[in-house]
Every structure is written in structure tokens, then in C-alpha cells.
Structure 1
């Protein structure tokens, strides 16, 4: 049983773990000859991580950084991201990880909203940061990662203190907002450590052995799954986190085997791509004991387990609370989108639109809390500078997840869909409102509605339904006009939005149905006319969606 003292901090737990497991590996990168860094792989022991963190702490402290400061990290999936995060947190500094897929406009919003005091950025990403800084009102100093020791910019404002406590902010992670712009989730030291404890103590098939596990996680360090959920489970159990640069189906098994991974983290799209590979005699040549993730297609769940020889344990979590629920005790409900039952520390209700409880077997929104006495214990601290949104999410003393589920007679919860206006593509949560707001800045667009459509590989794809301005619509029949307009609209989206948010499908229409108060009725656009992708006039732009050259991020996650 893992005991987490009420006043535990990330720095104190790291020091304790380094004393207990000095020679064990804590962080590892698998070999990858095609990678610009650590091509032969790399492994850092608990003692080596602790020493590196102490050195970084001294450098930050000398430059005047401490409690009250926020530092942005644009270090992609390098092991150094975690070293810097640990050093920052041990000093009471809040870490703000940056999604490397962000375009300048999106990054400028993060800079202005989080008001970071410093950015530590890879040299290859300096131009991206500078482009965003030119659009931002807030202008923090920027230090190039490769020159950190010699060029760390001094703090512009003095620190308020040097020693953090359990409720000190450790991270601000940006999650998709349903009203357009992302919201900054403030996560405390207590939150992050409690997430690791919860994962490591689930029991059943989630069995962390005394000798430690080797957790292979291909997910990005700017999201909660890799940098918090799996990392702190590793730290608290003497285990090792194996951090690859990004998921690649052709490298997955070679990296899993080379690093002797015993646990893997996955998304539904990962399972789908692995199943699509031709069977080989080495399909079961690995050390994996179980997989942790979400979103596996029901028809592939048992197929994968039988082929590769280990269970995929479906779970549920979100940035606001990643103390996971998981279907980890046999007999599991494989292929039913089951993700576990309520447990001590996570109470669950299933309710209708008026927050009235629904009977088992009826789909409704899932509400959660820690307990009646301490509903918000171990949850996120709140949305940065948005108390109204925080309180709205907590109305009635329960956190409203926005996810629709069904609870069966045994108490097992089954995921149905997202109630919020969110599109989930390859694990990335995309706010339809954000894409709509940006499309409306294009001079040809009169009105737009963005919604999700099924995708055989990436779960969902972005569809933009567009009403053109009359003068543009009247010229659309001219030779080449439609093709040129599609390219213009797509390039506009790519210039202002991360690549994965750009529409993969686009459809021009004369009108979009609205209510008497002009609220768009998305459900009425296509009605019950089958798959929108088969509609006349639908344009498939998916081949245009490509990650910018050099970006090393992996897909993100909502359900970790």
C-alpha cells in the first residue's frame, strides 16, 4: 500500500524515491537511429535523475525563479522535459507544457493567458516561439534549451518563496474548451501525486510488482497521461517510464522489445494501426503484462488480446481528474466500452439534463466527486482565471464530466459519447467552437457549423459545413473556383490552428438550420440521412492534413 502524506510535494517524493531506489532506472528513451537526439537510446537511474534535478534547481534559483513563477516548456518528448518539470516543481514553480503542434496564433493565446515568466524552448522551435511572441501582448524572456546553462534569463519579478506545499500549482495543462479557446487546468502537487497513487493501487490486473514495472508511453508530455498519470505511478513504485518521441506503428514493437516494457499505454488509433499490420511469428515476443488506455474499437478488443497475448484495460480519466476508473478485475467486459466502476475516492452519478439521477441502463452524463465530505479532494484546483467556469463545472457539488455513459446492473460504466461539443481525433480533443470561430475570420465565410464524422482510422474527423457569402457563392460555378476556395479555406485553417484541428471534410450549403433564437441545430444539418461523408458535394481534404516538419509530438488524450 502506498502512503501519501497530506503535505507531500513532488520534490519530497522524488528525494524519497531516489533514496529508496537509487540504482533503478526511472526514465528511459528507446533507441531510434532516425532521431536527432539519443539515437542509441538512454536510461537515467533514480539517483541520476535526482542529481540532474538538483543541478537544474540551483541554476533556476540562481536566476531568481521560485514560488509564484510559471515556466513554459517547449521540449517535445525529450527526457529533459521531465527533468526540468521536476526541478521547477521542487522550487514551487508551475510548469506550463507547450503543444509543439500549436500555430503562432494558438501559442500566442497560451502565452497571454498563462502569463509565463520564462520559456525554455528547443533551438529548432525558437522560430515558432518568436512568431507567437510577436502576436502576443505578454512578452516573457525565452531561453534556448541547448544553451540553458549559459543563457538562462534572470527572473523579471522576485519569487514569493522557495518551498512549495501540497496545494502549490505544479502544472497548467490546456484542455479543449467548448466555447472556443482552451481552458488552463491548474494541477497541484497533491493532484499529480494522488493520480500516480490511484493508478498504482488499482489492483486486479493492474499489478505493480515490488521489482518495478517498465511503462512504455508513446503519448505526449504536454498532456496528463504521460507527464502525470504514468510518470508518478512509476516514481512511487520504483518503476521506469520509457518515453518515446511519438507513436509510430513500424517502431512500436521494436521499441517495446528493446526496452523490455512490461506495461504499455495506448489509444484506440494505436490499437487499430497495430492490428492492421500483417501477423508475424514475433507477435507475442514481448514482456508486456497489460496495456492501459481507452478508445479501443469494440470489435478489435478481443482480436488484439488474442493475437498479442495481453489484456487491454480500458479506463476513463480527464485532465480535471485523472485518478482513473478502469475495468481491471476479471471477468472483464471486453468489447463493450466498459471502463470500470465507482470506487472509494471517486463517487459516480448518471444524470439527465436537469441533474436528476437516471436508472441503470439509461444513458446520461457522468458526474463525479471524491466524497460528500470532500467533493473536490485530489481534483484539479480550477480553471486558470475562470472561477465562473470552475463553479459551473462543479454545480451541485458534483463535477460535470460532459461524458455520456450507461451504468449496468453490476455498476459497470460504459462510455457512450461526449456530451460537450468536442471532436476526438486520434486522441486529440478538438473544440468545434474554436474551429468555427477561426473559419468565420475567412472573408468568404458567412456561417459555419463544425461537427464530428466517423473515421475508420482516427475515430473521428472534423467536418466543416459552410455557408458562403453571397458574392462568393455566386461565382463558385466558374472553372477552378471551388478548388481554389477549398485550398484557401484549408490553408487559412492550417495557418491559425494546429494541423489536427483543420477540417478533414468540407461541405458547402445554402443554409444551416437554426432555432428561432438563431442557435445552430447541428443535429438537423444531415438529419437521419446516413453518413454525412457520402453526401453530394462533400469534399475529402484528409490528405492535406499533415503535421509540420520536425514536430515530434504524439497524439494527445482525453481518456488517458
Structure 2
């Protein structure tokens, strides 16, 4: 079997005492307050025990389990156990609201919703609110105790392998609802080997690296890059509950981290922290991530913290990323390196024809060889038309505008897609617009990105009201509250601009290009600031 679980168990058998997972200490946390470290062998034994429980209940090849397990050790154990049986995991973002959860369940059709005991009551309430009380729910404790109802269908025949689905991750599309990316065992393992074997200044020493991850497990960077990358390198994953800038350097020293994985907001946020002794006492030599492309920001970070950064580009659909790890680095440009190894990149025109160096166009990527989709996502779940459109012309169309230099280096220019990139999260403008448009006071809303010095971008909503409704801070707050009931907190507008009418195209759609141009000319004093209203719901 060519699976994530078989690869992991080979490590567990060959190097049982080696550290696999480290939880940094945190006295305020309700699990592992003193921190913990779990070896490959210990984790492997737990995986085998959990797999037996699922198998006894009838779970196996072809089943899906939607899981809300946060970044805890239970996530890794249950994922690997299910993978060993040929079952797929569908991670749930803890910030989801009932409507978002309902869509995931409808689209992915999992046989079970799995969660931690502390989340049980809240998830049951969300399922009831979403009208999905028919979906079975179990906690990790119930699985361990053998109190697990059988799935509604039997497993598929045969053993799982390279092309078997290992997970579904949802990525924001441009037309509203997120798309479910079906990801195979091959996708995950090729991504991990690619990440840890990229070479250049991104060189990993087998069995010696300890990678501190700032990303969640419902994100491709956590599920595929950091977990698979450190596993294939035989190293240790350091997984905090979430990114906390005030704790990161203390964590890094306490856990002996050697590599940091970041998203753009991490660099900017850490630079804003007051100096601390630990920021120069750590052993981190290398930072890997994306979204920190501002050359001045990268230089400031490297100088202050003594860490070499390898800026990358990637998507859930691609798995394997392009990193700026090989010379020439072009440190003064928004460069994310060159396509190396088996990945091929081109700058495409509107007909999917590669452009000459120096000309901006859409970044296209593919695998070099007979199968351009090898190692990429398998498909958009239940959406063959979108899958075919993404692969038109033999290239995967990324929706990002870039330029290729004469030496093959790639430089980011802009996003072609109607996406807001906030703190590493891709937010589909159409999804936010659809929620705002349902508010009784809104005639139509248009959402675009607004620059943010820390989060890269924030959600800006241009709102045209129905007659009889007066604009102002109170109504803006009401609109945000409306969104927070229906969307994860980060998707709600952080800025609102009330307008008398929207610019429209000839096909009677909001002219988003015009709104984006207007956003570039607006100052904060011309907008209603609602960023302070965007608060996470407290964890149970």
C-alpha cells in the first residue's frame, strides 16, 4: 500500500524513539499545559489501536469522516488511523458557522462527524440549526471506548493505494461557495517529499529538524506541507494550538525549533512585537512560507531575528509549492523562486499560450511529463466543469498574475481571482456578497480587498442600501453581526463604505474593477471601521 499511514508506520517501526510531535507548554491551555512530546513509535501504537476501533465499527475504504479536532494530537492519530483503512478525512474549521458546516456536509457527504468531547454539545447544536440532525456524531473518547455507530454504507472492496482519497480540503472559489479539493495519498506524500527535499537554502537534515508550525490543520499548509514535510524528513512537528505572537519565541526556545513555517501575517506581526531575549536565543535557522513577499519586510525580519527566509507560492490544488530557495534570489523583488524538478511553470495569455519573459499574465503550473496532473489535486468534488476549466490548455490556471524573468524566476504581481487574502486565508468576495445581499436593508453589495499593514488585506464592502435605510456606524455594526451569524469571523467586512449606487457592467453585474480602483484612493477616514467587531467565537 502506498499511503500516508504506511509511510508513517515505516518510520514508527524503524525509528520508534524519534520525536514526531511536540506540543509547546502553555499553562492557560486545557490540554497538555506543561507541553508534551510524542515519538513515532508511541504515535504508531495509538494509530493502530484507533484503527482497530474504526474497523470494528465497519469503517473502511471509501468512507469520509468530517473532523473538528483543532491542532491537537488527536488529529494526527485519527487521521492516520482512518487513512490506514482507506477512509478520508474532511477537516472542519472551528470558526465555521452552522451554514458553512451544512454546506460541507452536503458537499462531502461524510459518514461521521468526529470531534473532541468539549465540542460535542456545540456541534450538535450547529447540526440541529443546519437541519442536519441525521448526521452521526462521535467524540474521540467514544471512538476509543468502542461506542461508534456503523457507517450507513459498507466499505469499498480492495486495498487503498496511491490514488485513494486521503482528505478533502475546501478552498475559496470566485463564484460563491468554496470548492472541495479531493486530495490523494500521492498528493500528500509527493508534497511532503518535495517540501523537505527542495534543497538549496531549504535543505533539511534527515531526523534532525524540528519544525514550528503557525498554521492550522484545516489548511493545506498544515495538513500537507508541514505535517508531510517533517514526516518525510523523519523530524519533529512542533504544533501549538494556534499562532500566538507573544509566545512564539519562548516556544521556539523551549521546543528547540530549527525551522519556522509562516504565513504573511506572521512576519509582520512578529516585527511589531517588543524585543524579547528569546528572539535571538532560538535555534531557528530557516523560515518557510508565503504571503510575506514584501522585500523590505523580509529583510527587516531576517536582520532582526537572524532567520533566512525562503518565500514560496502554492495552492491547495497544487500541493507542491515553488520556493525561492535557489539562486538567483532577487531579494529586492516580489520573487518566489523558479520552478524546479518535476514542476513546470509558465505565464499564460487569455488563450493559455505561454508569454515571453517580462510580460505579465496568469501563472500556470503543471507536472513535467506525460501526465500534467500527476501529484496535483484529483478533482473539485462534484464539480467536473470547474475541474476541466481549471486545467484548460493543459495547464492548471492559478488565478494569480505573475511575471517570469529571463532567468526563469517568478515574481508575483496580483490576483486575477476575486479573492481577499487575509492573514493567510483566501476569502471569496462572492461568498461575502451573497450574505450581505440577503440583509433586509441591502440593495446590493460589492466586496474587494483593502490593504492592511498586518493582515496583508482586509475585507472592504461597498454597500448600496434600499430606500428608507440610513447609513452609519450602527447599521455597519448590524451588517457585520449579520455576517458573523453566517460566516467564519475572518470573512466578515472589516471596512464598510456606504454608496448611493454601485458601478455596473453592461451585463448588469457590479464592476469589481472599478470598486478595486476606488478602494485604492480611499483613506480610513472615508470608511466605517468594523475590524474590532470581527471576533472569534470562544472555544468550548
**Structure 1 residue 222 corresponds to structure 2 residue 211:** no
Q: Distance in 1 between matches of 2:158 and 2:490?
A: 39
**Structure 1 residue 148 corresponds to structure 2 residue 138:** no
Number of the residue aligned with 1:388: 385
Structure 2, gaps ≥5 residues long: none
Say which SS state the counterpart of residue 249 (structure 1) adopts.
coil
Shift of 1:181: 0.4
Q: Distance in 2 between matches of 1:174 and 1:138?
A: 22
Q: Distance in 1 between matches of 2:134 and 2:104?
A: 12
**Structure 1 residue 253 corresponds to structure 2 residue 249:** yes
Aligned pairs for 1:36-47 (under 5 A) are: 36-47=30-41
Number of the residue aligned with 1:109: 103
Scaled by the length of structure 2, the TM-score of the pair is 0.96
**Paired residue total:** 537
Q: Distance in 2 between matches of 1:34 and 1:138?
A: 34
Number of the residue aligned with 2:491: 501
Q: Distance in 2 between matches of 1:209 and 1:449?
A: 49
Shift of 1:428: 0.7
Q: Distance in 1 between matches of 2:14 and 2:86?
A: 23
Shift of 1:177: 1.4
Q: Distance in 1 between matches of 2:531 and 2:475?
A: 16
**Structure 1 residue 379 corresponds to structure 2 residue 376:** yes
Further displaced range: 100-109 or 356-365: 356-365
Number of the residue aligned with 1:292: 288
Q: Distance in 2 between matches of 1:288 and 1:194?
A: 25
RMSD across aligned positions (CA) = 1.6
Q: Distance in 2 between matches of 1:321 and 1:530?
A: 31
User: What is the CA deviation profile of residues 270-328 of structure 1, one whole-angstrom value per residue up to 9, with x for unaligned ones?
Assistant: 11111112234443211112010012132111111111112011011110012111111
Change beyond 3 A, Cα 1:293–1:46: same
Further displaced range: 120-129 or 316-325: 120-129
Shift of 1:375: 0.5
Shift of 1:127: 3.3
Aligned pairs for 1:239-250 (under 5 A) are: 239-250=235-246
Number of the residue aligned with 2:115: 121
Q: Which of 69, 85, 94 is residue 100 of structure 1 equivalent to?
A: 94
Q: Distance in 1 between matches of 2:118 and 2:331?
A: 43
Number of the residue aligned with 1:459: 456
Number of the residue aligned with 1:482: 472
Say which SS state the counterpart of residue 314 (structure 2) adopts.
strand
Change beyond 3 A, Cα 1:534–1:233: closer
Shift of 1:234: 1.6
> Contact conserved, 1:314 with 1:337, CA < 8 A, in 2?
no
Q: Which of 333, 345, 368 is residue 342 of structure 2 equivalent to?
A: 345
Q: Distance in 2 between matches of 1:282 and 1:542?
A: 31
User: What is the CA deviation profile of residues 412-443 of structure 1, one whole-angstrom value per residue up to 9, with x for unaligned ones?
Assistant: 10112211000000011100000001111111
Q: Distance in 2 between matches of 1:214 and 1:360?
A: 39
Aligned pairs for 1:1-40 (under 5 A) are: 8-40=2-34
Say which SS state the counterpart of residue 292 (structure 1) adopts.
strand
Q: Which of 195, 201, 204 is residue 199 of structure 1 equivalent to?
A: 195
Change beyond 3 A, Cα 1:262–1:307: same
User: What is the CA deviation profile of residues 335-383 of structure 1, one whole-angstrom value per residue up to 9, with x for unaligned ones?
Assistant: 4221111223111110122323222122211011102411110011001
Number of the residue aligned with 2:77: 83
**Structure 1 residue 434 corresponds to structure 2 residue 428:** no
